[in-house]
Amino acid sequence: MSTLTGLAKSATFVPFERLRKPVSLIIACALMAGVLVGVPKGFCSMPYEGIEFLGMMMLGCAAMGRIWCLLYIAGRKNEVLCQSGPYSLSRNPLYLFSFIGVVGFFLAAQSVIFAGLAALLFLAYYRGVILSEEARLQTLFGADFTAYKAETPRFWPSHLRIQRVDEIMIKPKIIERGMCEVIWFLMAIVLADVIECLHGNEYLRFFTLPF
**CA atoms 163, 155, 79, 68: torsion sign:** negative
* pLDDT at residue number 191: 94
Contact 48, 110 (CB under 8 A): yes
Predicted pLDDT of residue 172: 80
CA distance 190 to 180: 16
User: What pLDDT score was predicted for residue 15?
Assistant: 67
pLDDT in tens, the chain (211 residues): 444 444 444 445 566 677 888 888 899 999 999 999 999 988 989 999 999 999 999 999 999 999 999 989 887 777 889 999 999 999 999 999 999 999 999 999 999 999 999 999 999 999 999 999 999 899 999 999 999 999 999 999 988 889 988 888 777 888 888 888 888 898 999 999 999 999 988 888 888 888 7
Number of structural domains in the chain: 1
pLDDT at 3: 46
- Across the strands, what pairs with 2? none
pLDDT at residue number 9: 46
Can you give the residue range of the structural domain that contains 170?
2-209
